[in-house]
Amino acid sequence: MTSSDEQSPKPRRRLLWLAALIVVLFAIYSGGWFYLAERLKTEADQAVARLGSKGIAAGCANLTVSGYPMSFTVSCDNIAYEDDARKVAASTGSFNAVAAITGPLSTVADLRGPLRTMAPGMPPLWIDWDQLQANVKVWWPLPRSVSLRAEGLNGQTDPQDDTDPMQLFSAGKAAGQLQPAGQDINYVGSFADLEINADAIDGRVLPALDGSGDVTLKNGVALIATPPKSLRGQSIDIDRLDLSSGTARITVSGPVSVDAEGLVDASLMIKLKDPKAVAAILAGAVPEHKSEIEQGFAAIAMLGKEPSLPLRVVKGKASLGFIPLGKIKPLE
């Protein structure tokens, strides 16, 4: 027998051991996957039961977990929530969330409309979209970020009687992202081609609008854990709020706060592009003050095509540069 014949069984034994190890690891992985899938269903059922014990009806109809072996996919035919005590209700169409095994802490979810809502102090709403996708980057104790992206948004009233619904708004695109920043919460968002129905704002006319913003809610982490019942005592830092239509553009930045008595304090910088075009839009939106707006912005236009003015609010009394704007009522 040659030396090569004596050594040949060793590579075969290594391959057999490797194959056996792969089989064992795959069996452990499969067991873990199915255990987590069943655990997820159990946790969902328990959460619904806990809400039910508080008089809240909630559910994810026909909850299924699939995607084995490369992902976790959670699907529902529809989602519903109803709290009779608070007279709050919401429902949507189908829900589908996927977390890939290669990136288990990043979940992508698709939600189909319409979203139907009821809440005290506002009419029932019907909000629909062509596509809505959410991305959640999971971390502890809060997600690293939560983002939403929608296309073809539109909203209308959802009467509970035989009256016709009223169109409220439509937007070609909208996006937003929330993420913790220390103890604060930062929001970055944008929208395009927002059209607001004049009938929804007492006949006031606005052109199609584009907008974007970067705002930080101070102490936002604690506020999410325990939602406040009032705006009093809250504050935000506006890094940038931008609203435009055609050549007209308004950009706002600075801090805003509400004191214990509900009075607003703010130190904002307002930058205008094409003040005459801005004035024309405001005059159409607030026709009862058309003459004052035109006079004020005629003076502002003398400062150039892109003037900047400080907007000061002290204990609810507001002024834009040298133009007094009146008093803001205390907020609740």
Most confident of 10-14, 109-113, 303-307: 109-113
Asked whether the predicted pLDDT for residue 83 surpasses 90, the reply is yes
DSSP 99: E
Whole-number Å distance between alpha carbons of 238 and 309: 16
For residue 213, what is the enclosing H or E element? strand 209-217
- pLDDT single digits (tens) 202-229: 889 999 999 999 999 999 999 988 888 8
CA atoms within 13 A on the CB side of 83: 10
**How large is the greatest C-alpha to C-alpha distance in the chain, in angstroms?**
110
For residue 90, pLDDT over 60 is answered with yes
Of all residues in the chain, the percent with pLDDT exceeding 70 is: 97
Does residue 46 have a pLDDT over 80? yes
User: Does position 5 have pLDDT exceeding 60, yes or no?
Assistant: no
DSSP-derived secondary structure letter, 323: E
pLDDT over 80 at 172, yes or no: yes
First CA to last CA across the chain, in angstroms? 95
Residue 1 has pLDDT above 80, yes or no: no
What is the residue-wise DSSP string for 55-77? Answer: TEEEEETT-EEE-TTTEEEEEES
- Angle (CA) 59-62-65 rounded to 5° is 105
Task: Give the C-alpha distances (Å, rounded to integers) separating 119 from 83, 84, 166, 209.
Answer: 10, 10, 17, 27
Average pLDDT score over residue span 258-268: 95
pLDDT tens, position by position, 293-331: 888 888 888 888 899 999 999 999 998 777 777 899 999
Q: How confident is the model at residue 2 (pLDDT cuts 50, 70, 90)?
A: low
From 16-25, 88-97, 228-237, the region with the lowest mean pLDDT: 16-25
* Mean pLDDT for the stretch of residues 30-55: 91
Whether 7 has a pLDDT exceeding 70, the answer reads no
Contact (CB, 8 A) for 191 and 170? no
Q: Tell me if residue 250 falls in helix, strand or coil.
A: strand
> What average pLDDT score do residues 39-68 get?
92
Are 153 and 131 in contact, with CB atoms under 8 Å apart? no
Q: What is the mean pLDDT of the chain?
A: 91
CB atoms inside a 10 Å sphere around CB 143: 17
Q: What CA–CA distance (Å, rounded) separates 275 from 318?
A: 20
pLDDT level of residue 18 (50, 70, 90 thresholds): confident
Q: What is residue 8's predicted lDDT score, i.e. its pLDDT?
A: 61
CA dist 298 and 303 (Å) reads: 9
